[in-house]
Amino acid sequence: MADGTGSKELQEPLKTNEILPIQENAWRVASEEHSQAQLEHIARLQESFQITLHKLENSLMIMQQVQCIVEKLQTYNRNKSVLGKGLTASAVEKGSSSRNLLGNASRNESMGQSMSGGYTYFPEVKFPHFKGDNPRAWIRTCNRYFQLFSTIGEDQKVPLASLHLEGKADVWFAGSMEGKGSLSWQEFVSAVLERFEDLDCEKVMRKFCKLQQETTVNAYLDKFEELNSYMMEFYKDLNEEFFIMKFISGLRKDIRGIVSTMKPKTLNQAIRLAKNQEATADAIVKRVNHLQKLHLSEAKMPTKHQTPDPKPPNSILNPILK
Residues 227 and 284 in one domain: yes
Domain membership flag for residue 166: yes
- The answer to whether residue 161 sits within a structural domain is yes
In a domain, 100, yes or no: no
Beta strands in the chain (DSSP E): 114-115, 118-119
Domain that residue 40 falls in? 14-78
- Per-residue pLDDT, 183: 86
How many structural domains does the chain have? 3
C-beta separation of 275 from 255 below 8 A: no
Report d(CA 33, CA 110) in Å as an integer: 57
Q: What is the pLDDT of residue 84?
A: 46
On whether both 241 and 186 belong to a single domain, the answer is no
Q: Using DSSP, state whether 48 is helix, strand or coil.
A: helix
Please state whether the predicted TM-score (pTM) of the whole model is above 0.95.
Answer: no
Looking at the domain assignment, is residue 88 inside a domain? no
Residue 130 DSSP label: B
- Domain final position from 163, 196, 229: 196
Residues 287, 206 within the same domain? yes
Which of 146, 175, 196 is the last residue before a domain boundary?
Answer: 196
Residues 219 and 172 reside in one and the same domain: no
Same domain, 167 and 133: yes
DSSP 165-215: B-HHHHHHIIIIITTS----HHHHHHHHHHHH----HHHHHHHHHH----S
Residue 87 near residue 99, CB atoms below 8 Å: yes
302 assigned to some structural domain: no
- Are residues 188 and 149 part of one domain? yes
pLDDT for residue 243: 93
Is residue 38, in this structure, part of any structural domain at all?
yes
CA 260 from chain centre, in angstroms, equals 27
Nearest to 221 by CA among 249, 247, 244, 256: 247
pLDDT of the chain along its 322 residues, tens only? Answer: 455 555 555 555 555 666 667 777 777 777 777 778 888 888 888 888 788 877 888 777 777 777 777 776 666 555 444 444 444 434 444 444 443 433 333 334 344 444 444 444 556 788 999 998 889 889 999 999 999 888 889 989 999 999 999 999 999 998 888 777 788 999 999 899 889 887 777 888 889 999 999 999 999 999 999 888 888 878 888 899 999 999 999 999 999 999 999 999 999 999 999 999 999 988 888 888 878 777 777 766 665 555 555 555 555 445 444 4
Same domain, 216 and 281: yes
Last residue of a domain, one of 165, 196, 227: 196
Q: Are residues 133 and 188 in the same domain?
A: yes
Please tell me the distance from the alpha carbon of residue 90 to that of residue 87, in angstroms, as a whole number. 8
| 97, 124 contact by CB (below 8 A) | yes
pLDDT for 125-163, tens place per residue? 889 999 988 898 899 999 999 998 888 899 899 999 999
Q: Is residue 223 part of a domain?
A: yes
Dist CA 277 CA 252 (whole Å): 10
Contact 173, 135 (CB under 8 A): no
User: Tens digit of pLDDT for each residue in 176-227?
Assistant: 887 777 889 999 998 998 898 877 778 888 899 999 999 999 999 999 998 8
306 lies in a domain? no
**Domain identity same for 239 and 282:** yes
Write the CB contacts of 156 (distance below 8 Å, at least 6 apart in sequence): 81, 82, 83
